Amino acid sequence: MKIALAQLNYHIGNFEANVSKITHSIKKAKNENVDLIVFSELSVCGYPPHDLLEQEDFINNCNISVKKIAAQCSGIAAIVGAPSINTNKKGKNLFNSAFFLSEGKIQHIFNKSLLPTYDVFDESRYFEPNSDFKTITYKGKKIAVTICEDLWDKQPVNNQFAKNQLYINSPMDELNKLNPDFVINISASPFSFNQSDLRKNILIEKAKNFNIPIFYVNQVGAQTELIFDGGSMVLNSSGKIVERLHFFKEDYKVVDIKEINNLNYKETKKQTIEKIHDALVLGIRDYFNKMNFKQATLGLSGGIDSAITAVLAVRALGKENVRVLLLPSKYSSAHSITDAVGLAENLGIQYEIVSIKEATDIFEKILNPLFKGCKPDITEENIQARIRGLLLMAISNKFGHILLNTTNKSEAAVGYGTLYGDMCGGMAVLGDVYKTDVFKLAHFINKDNEIIPNNTIVKPPSAELRPDQKDTDSLPDYDTLDNILYQYIELKQSKNQIIDKGFDPVTVKKIITLVNRNEYKRFQAPPILRISSKAFGEGRKIPLVAKY
């Protein structure tokens, strides 16, 4: 039996485009004498559709689309993902399903058993879990069809408070009793730099433990914050990866089941920072393409965060679609302007220099009677940031550009950003990238030649909102800060647990207080491209008014 893996980039709710992609791949596979072609989880509607699943018209469009696809399945079978209606009188209205299509119609429907409800996932909100385990026989082979989390019943955790087995039941334990010849798993597993190897290891473990081949098809492409990296694969019954599809782009491969033990796939290792780079480029590109925008703008300060955001934007959208403003204040150093100009010219992008000194002076004059008797403080710093935000948003409004936010995760965590100022934007590109990784990204970008001026990378980070200002005036060095933040945010460690690891108690208390105090700022931040296992946004739900 020849099986095709179709790793495609879907657009949520764009049924016409999704059906067209799927049927095009079916026709291609049919011309290559493929017996079965497999697509990813909820491929018909795109993943995750969230509350669109509560609209009857949306579900009707899913059903119509599945039937259109089925009509193309003559002489070939296909497995596609879509919601299906739960006809039982009890339970949620929908199942998360895999449809087995052949001979022009729906032959079987397989429903997802394990519904993730953690981090960015909330499938129990919409779907009823499956409890009826079955296989299908096709071309003389007995096939077990599973959906994403159904293979993730056991997974290591990075928090000692959590259970080491998330679910009570194991779908594979039940399906194994039916003696299938191989397993199909359709998935929509989002990228995080510290989870891609975990996903691979879980599949290897399943294939080994059950002594069964696995055909795994993952979604690729970005859906606002979530970035799906693809990396679909085929494993033989020994747990060896015998074929793998590309990361961060659409791909298609055909594997003959009888040749599964003769294939010799050699994996090319990518550095973590390269994966993060590729994920961010894909995230920007898909956000613009799927929102039907073409051009981006941002403020280029001469600092490392805005420099990297500009480079990523150019690589995602093309240099002709990126326009930047250099917005120096009376506190901006000469080398910051020189560095920003150097980067813009290296990238070949349009730039203008607009001093904010005059605007700042006007605001200070207007506010002077109101601030009488008050000493200058962070208020005056925030005014500068908000003037910059106003000018950037004016360019965005006038020319239809999307403003890219340049705040990194370290700054977002401790509240080092100005609401309605440097926190403006339609998307936060680096909002899930710690400052220490920002530096790694800069070195990766410059690995072949100097794109980002070296001075931008080596100079002490500064917001340049007051004379001789440096980030370390009020924060520990970024190696220390990011380590504490990682323990607190990703690993969910308490203050005392972090202190017990050797960190300075005063510093730990200060950092955790800053993180907790600034939740209200992050609540108003633009969508953040997720590249870690715990990003700010949908995956981290903290009460704004909590006192803890």
Q: What is the spatial distance between Cα 496 and Cα 273, in angstroms, rounded to a whole number?
A: 31
Which single residue is written with the structure tokens 């710690």? Answer: 434
Kindly name the residue from 2, 112, 409, 521 that is annotated as catalytic: 112
Which DSSP symbol is given to 4? E
DSSP 534-545: S-SBTTB---TT
439: helix, strand or coil: helix
Active-site residue, 41 included: yes
Paired tokens of 64 = 């119509």
Going by C-alpha positions, the residue among 434, 417, 544 that lies closest to residue 486 is 434
Kindly name the residue from 2, 30, 41, 128 that is annotated as catalytic: 41
Beta bridge partners of 165: 154
Paired tokens of 305 = 């965060």
Active-site residue, 105 included: no
For the CA atoms of 454, 456, 460, 466, the dihedral, rounded to the nearest 10 degrees, stands at 150
Paired tokens of 488 = 């607190």
How does strand 296-299 pair with strand 251-256? Answer: unpaired
Q: What share of the chain is helix, strand, coil (3-state, %, to 5)?
A: 40, 20, 40
Quickly count: other Cβ atoms within 10 Å of residue 170's Cβ.
17
Interior angle at CA 400, CA 399 and CA 406, nearest 5: 100
Interior angle at CA 142, CA 25 and CA 259, nearest 5: 65
Amino acid letter for position 339: D
Q: What is the spatial distance between Cα 202 and Cα 235, in angstroms, rounded to a whole number?
A: 11
Cβ–Cβ < 8 Å for 491, 156 = no
Cβ–Cβ < 8 Å for 528, 535 = yes
Which residues are CB-contacts of 202 (< 8 A; sequence separation ≥ 6)?
151, 152, 154, 155
Kindly name the residue from 45, 62, 148, 424 that is annotated as catalytic: 148
Active-site residue, 112 included: yes
Beta bridge partners of 143: 136, 182
Cβ–Cβ < 8 Å for 253, 215 = no
Q: What is the spatial distance between Cα 335 and Cα 129, in angstroms, rounded to a whole number?
A: 59
Which single residue is written with the structure tokens 């033990």? Answer: 261
Residues with a catalytic annotation lie at 41, 112, 148
